Structure 1
Amino acid sequence: MRITMFRKLMANEFGQVRAEMVARDHVLSALGGRTPDQALEAGLSAKEIWQAVCDAFDVPEQRR
């Protein structure tokens, strides 16, 4: 998954403003105590990060 697709999925799920806030501020234990943005910078795959976000926010399977 490309980062642009990750950003699009985030915006579709949370709305643009909240998606940016979640990516910037929400620390996820599944990402090693990083925010999604920090995880991207650390080199984790966008797909892995999206899955962690979906798990943390109980995103329904059909939107994952």
Structure 2
Amino acid sequence: MKHSEFWRAVDTVFGSAYGRSLAQDLVLSGIGRTSAEALEAGVPPRDVWHALCDDTDRSEADRWVFRDDTRRHRRDTR
């Protein structure tokens, strides 16, 4: 997972305003930092994403939303 995929997943699952607020304010129990702090400190985005999903009780579908390849879907629908 890239940083851009992390932020796209945050926006998709939580909405842009609430998601950015969570990333800035919620200290992740498994990491001991906020998502933004963890990313800045070099924690892999995938680890941050899974910690955020754990702490906010997200569904499995939400947890793997970043795996949805929109390019593939566009190709398949042409």
TM-score by length of 2: 0.77
Counterpart secondary structure, 1:30: coil
Counterpart for residue 61 of structure 2 = 62
Percent identity among equivalent residues?
Answer: 38
Where does 1:28-47 land on structure 2 (aligned, <5 Å)? 28-31=28-31, 33-47=32-46
* Matches for 1:1-40 after TM superposition, within 5 Å: 1-31=1-31, 33-40=32-39
Specify the structure having the higher radius of gyration (Cα).
2
The CA distance in 2 between the partners of 1:3 and 1:54, in whole Å, is 16
TM-score by length of 1: 0.93
* Number of positions where the alignment pairs a residue of Structure 1 with one of Structure 2: 63
Listed as ranges, the gaps of 5+ residues in structure 2 are 64-78
Measure the CA separation in 2 of the matches of 1:59 and 1:4. Answer: 20
Unmatched 5+ stretches in structure 1: none
| Contact in 1 for aligned 2:29/2:55 (Cα 8 Å) | no
What is the alpha-carbon root mean square deviation over aligned residues?
A: 0.7
- In structure 2, how many angstroms separate the alpha carbons of the residues matched to 1:62 and 1:28? 20
> What amino acid maps onto 2:39 in structure 1?
L
Flag as ranges the 4+ runs of structure 1 deviating above 2 A.
none
